[in-house]
Amino acid sequence: MVHVPNIKLNNNLTIPAFGLGTWQGPPGKEAEVGLAVKDAIDIGYRHFDCAHVYGNEDIIGEAIKEKIKEGVVKREDLFITSKLWVNYNRPDLVEPALRATLKRLQLDYLDLYLIHWPFAVKAGDNLFPSNSKTDPTIFSNVDYIDTWKAMEDVQRKGLTKSIGISNFNSKQIDRLLKHATIVPVINQVECHAYLNQKKLRKFCGERGIILTAYSPLGSPARPWQKPGDPSVFNDDKIREIAQKYGKTSAEILLRYIVQLGDSVIPKSSNKERLKQNIEVFNFELLPEDMEFLDTLDCNGRICSFDNAKDHPHYPFSPDVEF
Ligand SMILES: NC(=O)C1=CN([C@@H]2O[C@H](COP(=O)(O)OP(=O)(O)OC[C@H]3O[C@@H](n4cnc5c(N)ncnc54)[C@H](OP(=O)(O)O)[C@@H]3O)[C@@H](O)[C@H]2O)C=CC1
Ligand SMILES: O=C1CO[C@H](CO)[C@@H](O)[C@@H]1O
């Protein structure tokens, strides 16, 4: 069984440094995730990153239930994250949204619940509200501070062990901390060799917040990819380092994040790749290779949610450095 180290959170709980991403990019592939979760549990994965918007919490819930029933794991061995989608950021919708997630996952509590994005869209059950196919998204002006207060309430009620944020920038975190009673344990952000988040990691670390790195392989199957987009996954320089260690590019990219100290959540639905990915704890990159990988940073963000760029709580405006 693979041994995955834990990272200590600011509330003295821990998060496994490695987990499985469950966002299935291409539509129609939702069912694959059930098999992937079951394979992953057999391999030794204990940390699963879910979200309402991924549309597969029910399938993941079934897979987890099956593995608990088989006696392979107990609920308390698992670390399950989910995220509040932006149509439920209004404070009175947070608890019902979390309860619906728990129902789909067939769980009594989450280990971690995250605000998925700091901006909100029109409240209601439509995840992507717009007036027509060509119209832009209908946004709302819910303040993430008010959402956070409701997140604190659901933690107090025991519906989740910890709460955190995702896609928040440094200014938003500072503002949140001025109003928060509970400090977020995690900021889940895009992080890979083209966007290594050095400044945000330091900033969050000084405030007791750990980063979880999403799209650590550069999300090579993301639906909005265009031909010619830069690809960290296919970078020749990473391939060269991989050859030097007798590893794959994926292993080098994942080991890089692990050595930066984040929790990392690559997605795979392939049993061999699930095994390969979690074995990044059995080798180490030399300091000179870490330094070289640092030089590849080029602010290469791929998950930028451009639709929301004019929203006052959009996190990636050019006027905010990190
Ligand atoms: N908070 C947020 O806003 C966001 C969170 N996330 C979370 O982060 C997770 C990971 O990010 P994601 O965007 O999915 O992308 P990743 O960077 O994890 O890349 C996943 C892709 O890489 C392929 N892959 C995985 N392992 C290997 C390997 N060893 N060799 C070759 N190819 C490999 C997978 O294909 P295959 O399945 O065929 O192996 C899949 O197509 C998501 O699933 C989600 O849980 C992601 C985006 C935004
Ligand atoms: O986690 C994510 C992946 O999918 C979503 C869209 O469908 C993204 O917006 C999001 O941040």
Question: Looking at ligand 1, which atom is closest to the CA of residue 268?
Answer: 37
The residue assigned the tokens 């979200």 is: 51
Give the up-direction half-sphere exposure of residue 128: CA atoms within 13 A in the CB hemisphere.
Answer: 11
- Active site (annotated) includes residue 54: yes
Of the listed ligands, the closest to the CA of 278 is 1
Residue 26: predicted pLDDT? 66
Give the up-direction half-sphere exposure of residue 111: CA atoms within 13 A in the CB hemisphere.
Answer: 20
Of 318, 306, 294, nearest to 192 by C-alpha is 294
pLDDT tens over the chain, length 322 residues: 788 999 999 999 999 999 999 998 666 777 799 999 999 999 999 999 999 999 999 999 999 999 999 999 999 999 999 999 999 999 999 999 999 999 999 999 999 999 999 999 999 999 999 987 776 789 999 999 999 999 999 999 999 999 999 999 999 999 999 999 999 999 999 999 999 999 999 999 999 999 999 999 999 988 888 888 989 999 999 999 999 999 999 999 999 999 999 999 999 999 999 999 999 999 999 999 999 999 999 999 999 999 999 999 999 999 999 9
**Whether residue 216 has its Cβ less than 6 Å from ligand 1:** yes
Q: How far apart are CA 266 and CA 217, in angstroms?
A: 7
The residue assigned the tokens 């539509």 is: 27
ipTM of predicted assembly, 2 dp? 0.98
Question: Looking at ligand 1, which atom is closest to the CA of residue 267?
Answer: 18
The residue whose CA has the least distance to atom 7 of ligand 2 is 53
Of 307, 309, 310, 304, nearest to 128 by C-alpha is 307
47 is in an annotated binding site: no
Of 322, 263, 252, nearest to 293 by C-alpha is 252
In the chain, domain spans: 6-219+227-308
**Whether residue 225 has its Cβ less than 6 Å from ligand 1:** no
pTM: 0.98
Cα 321 to its chain centre, rounded Å, is: 21
Class of domain 6-219+227-308: alpha beta
Q: Report helix, strand or coil for 131.
A: coil
**Whether residue 220 has its Cβ less than 6 Å from ligand 1:** yes
